[in-house]
Structure 1
Amino acid sequence: MSATDQFTESPTLTAIAIAYKNPDVSLIADEVLPRVPTPRSFKYHKYDEAGDFTVPDTRVGRRSSPNQVEIEGTETDASVEAYGIDIPLDNVTIEEAKKQKWNPEGKATERATNIVNLDREIRVAKLVSDPTNYHADHVEALSGSDLFSDPGSDPISILEDMMSTCWVKPNQLGFGFKVWRDLRKHPKVVKAIHGNSGDQGRATKAQVAELLEIKRILVGESRVNLKRPGEDPVLARVWDNIVCGQYIDRTADTSGGMTFGFTAVHGKKVAGTLPANMGIHGGKLIRSAEEVREVVIASRAGFLIQNATAPDA
């Protein structure tokens, strides 16, 4: 690769990539596993949660030193991975756009960032939907009359029971869209919130959070095409038929702190251009990228409910 073929970061496009959030796409990855700044290679502790429940003697004599507490858990080595996408723009399109006074490079940056963000949403959903990332006692698959779609089920008790199994009570719950749709109209939920017979009304995220005494309800609404480019599309929800609960401490990082997990981030999102050999007038590639790694560090600080509601007919 010659010097003229190298990636050139653009402060303007980078600012777009950092600030961009599609208002019509509901992504929850940054709340499920919040971002934490790290070097490219870093260490983190997988917790034996008992360490955070063991309180040492905190008395200090007049001429003595306080007791010391070491960070417990298994130290694990990890490193971030690079994720990015290029959007091609030919010079003819760029010149025509300038005449019409709109910015195709900025729009291409938004599109590329949207793709990178959706890819991250898929990774996080896959991570928290994997039962191996939880203690076995914190995973349950529903069936029959326990399904949230069954009006005779008791989703409030099911959620409270699952939260009580965790060594640290989750302060947020994440729902697949269909699960949330069935929960918010479930007669027992509606009755508990609105005080009616349960046959009318819907519950909001804020009302369910208050009912369960947690901070946040997150609903994954995004979709992804399961097929390869060129094949007939098959759209599916990124967040499947699950409910996941996490205790998230937003002050936790690689130095310590009890939290279900986080996203290690090196540096900032970047965007820029590369020259591209296309057409007779040439063009450029618009790149948006970031370096991140999603990790679970405390499996007992979360729970997973699989097959939470009946599939659509």
Structure 2
Amino acid sequence: MPHTHHHGPDCGHGCGHHHGPRHIYIYSPASAIRDKAAFKRGVARLKALGHEVEVDPDAQAVHTRFAGDDATRLAAIHRAAASGADVALITRGAYGLTRILPGIQYQAVAKAIERGMKFVGFSDFTAFQLAVLAKTGAATWAGPSLLSFGEDETPDDIMQACFDDLLTGQGEGAGWTLGREKTHPQAEVYVKKATLWGGNLAVLTALLCTPYFPQVKGGILFVEDVGEHPYRIERMLTQLLHAGVLAQQKAIVLGQFTGYKLAPHDKGFKLQSVVDWLRTQVKAPVLTNLPFGHVPTKVLLPVGAQVSLSVEGRDALIYWGHTH
């Protein structure tokens, strides 16, 4: 097992060759673009990195809060799948995919993935990723959206490096440092070859008991969320617990939970309270601080792929280089 000593998150590099420019297809399967300047900056930055960037004709469509009506967004997904691009990158998440899941041509998406296309996104895109996994077993990538590249500030170095690794086929893993906690239930964890799956907790929980929820046994589940108070995070985790989902996992990895405010009446109930409680409910290790979520520093993770997980002390590594 390769072991790395590192500070902060990183991408595990393989020793491949740089493959020159990539074809990136940009499309909008969920909410409408509101920040046109950020959209332009994102496209310009990807082009500046030397990539061929193809923008879907309806990428900036608007229909109420969505990027076009349901039929328009479905057509955009299918154009992306048919584009022959190396990467299909969503413009943004926010709400919009759950309601169109029945209309997606999953075999067309799976064929595109088989030919080497990498579907990348996060947040609301979790619905697409889990549905593709449930229906076809194919893997997609949890990672940035176009707007992640379009922020005012320069995009995060680690996110860019991980995205570059994905484009060049060199990504082999993601390493990070676990959160500083008084107690770590297990100083050493090693899970060999388990299915990595998960994404946004609210979107994932909303798919329970539907045909779009993957039945992953012995997997590694990762979750993140934004704008959800710790009690709401606990309520969603409780739903997964009572549904028997958590008991079937070999590890639970918590990403970044951001954008909420604690209230005086919480009286000390906080995110760590939820983590401590969760550890009393499941046998599997519960790991924290994965650099993924609604934050600038995002690693890229293969949703639905076979990975290994190792923890030594506070050093954690999710590794998929052995699957190539």
TM-score, normalization: structure 2?
A: 0.25
* Structure number with higher relative contact order (C-alpha < 8 Å, ≥ 6 residues apart): 1
